[in-house]
Amino acid sequence: MISGLKSALWLLFLAGLFVSCHHDKKKKEVPAIDLGPVINPVERPVDSLLTKETEALWVNLKRLKGKGILFGQQDATTSGADWKHPISLSDVKQVTGTYPAVYGWEISGIGNTRNIDSIPFAVMTKRIAEVFNRGGVNTITWHLGNPVTAGTAWDTYPAVREILPDSIQHEYYKSQLQEVASFFNQLKSAGGVPIPIIFRPFHENNGNWFWWGKGHCTREEYIRLWQFTVSYLRDSLHVHNLLYAYSTDMFESTEQYLERYPGDEWVDILGCENYWDFQSGATISNGIAQLRMLVNMAAQRKKLAALTECGFDGLPIKNWWTQYLLTPIKDDSVARNISYLMVWRNANRKHFYVPFPGQKSFQDFLLFEQDTFTIFEKDLRDLYVIK
């Protein structure tokens, strides 16, 4: 059996060599995108040169699957409902006594002093190291401004085709990735350990609100952008502390989810972002159905699954945390296998996703934290060592 399998793999390898040489001779183009069926998935991350702590994160998140869900918040220690850096508090900690397990950060504006939300990159670097030292997990999004118009990420001029290899703005895109790589490469603990990051670029790609969204590039363009981004960071710029999360917004079927999926070799975490479905009793089952599909797709491919963004801006429902989010997920034998869920940032008292003392959902958030299935910092075991 094994030697049969080996020779089959060998043949496939030779065939691959032949095909790629053949292509090379004809023209030097980005290879055709063939995602193919999922065959004999291999349990390995996108980057075979991952730092050992990043690999440990991948292994330990897999081991935790089904045992609990890590809770996270965007900008948790740089921005609160009533404070902003240089103060460093955490609304999660103020309310529950413990920090979240996952922290989201935003690098739009990289190359400048501050990001899109006025957080200095130097402050972010410091906070990211603090998170790592406390045993928490860092994840980063990139609302890259439109590279052609110099507008924001929400400027939907179709720029993807113009930043791909051999296109007019490609060098500019590469220069942006060089900024990103030097940021990632300088994220180190006091002892010099590179800090693992879950990187989630070009998210919510099945919506139309970002320039990389569905209406503004073809499937092939999106996939080429993803693959170029990963290979340039990993192979040319030697960034080896990243797990790559691919996240759509809400979706209706596995086919729809996979339409722009860049392929198993290019993704470590299958994510989705869903604010809407968990905000009303009438739609929670849709949200759960999507998480079930997500978990199943991830399991088939030996990947992780996560609800990479969710939440309810302004938290208008008293028992939202336990009744709309936690119980439906925890009670579903499939959906409960997501690794983490993350709510968005507390910008001020009008735009917030975690309660502050006295807020309507405050007591319920305490119950959410106390539930044995949610993992906050105090519940974490060492995610950065393989035991």
Instruction: Report the interface residues with ligand BMA, using CB under 6 A.
Output: 106, 116-117, 143, 344-345, 347
Query: Taking a C-beta distance cutoff of 8 angstroms, is the pair 325, 277 a contact?
Result: no
Q: To the nearest whole angstrom, how small is the minimum distance from the Cβ of residue 143 to ligand BMA?
A: 5
Give the residue with the Cβ less far from ligand BMA, 117 or 220. Answer: 117
Smallest separation, CB 210 to ligand BMA (Å): 11
Contact 155, 145 (CB under 8 A): yes
Q: Yes or no: say if 287 and 253 are a contact pair by the CB < 8 Å rule.
A: no
Is the Cβ–Cβ distance between 135 and 382 less than 8 Å? yes
CB nearer ligand BMA, residue 83 or residue 373? 83
How many residues are recorded in the chain?
387
* Residue 110, strand partner residues: 112
Within 65-169, residue ranges assigned H as helices are: 91-96, 121-133, 160-163
CB nearer ligand BMA, residue 221 or residue 273:
273
> Scanning the structure block, which residue is given the tokens 């921005």?
79
Strands 374-375 and 102-106: unpaired
Q: Which residue has the tokens 């053949």?
A: 22
| Of residues 75 and 162, the one with the C-beta less far from ligand BMA | 75
Q: Tell me if the bond preceding 86 is cis, omega within 30° of 0.
A: yes
Smallest gap from residue 367 Cβ to ligand BMA (A): 26
Residue 228 CB, nearest distance to ligand BMA (Å)? Answer: 24
Residue (33 or 347) nearer to ligand BMA, CB = 347
Which residues are identified as catalytic? Answer: 204, 309
Burial of 59 (0-12, 13-18, 19+ CB in 10 A): middle
Shortest distance, position 104 Cβ to ligand BMA, whole Å: 9
Amino acid identity at 28: K
CA dist., res. 324 & res. 227, Å (int): 36
What's the CA gap between 265 and 276, in Å, rounded? 30
DSSP category for residue 340: E
Closer Cβ to ligand BMA, 302 or 351, answer by number? 351
Shortest distance in whole angstroms from residue 2 CB to ligand BMA? 50
Question: Distance (Å, rounded) from C-alpha 11 to C-alpha 74?
Answer: 47
Nearer to ligand BMA, 299 or 347 (CB): 347
CA-wise closest residue to 271 among 320, 319, 234, 310: 310
**70: β partners:** 340, 375
Q: How far is the CB of 259 from ligand BMA (least distance, A)?
A: 24
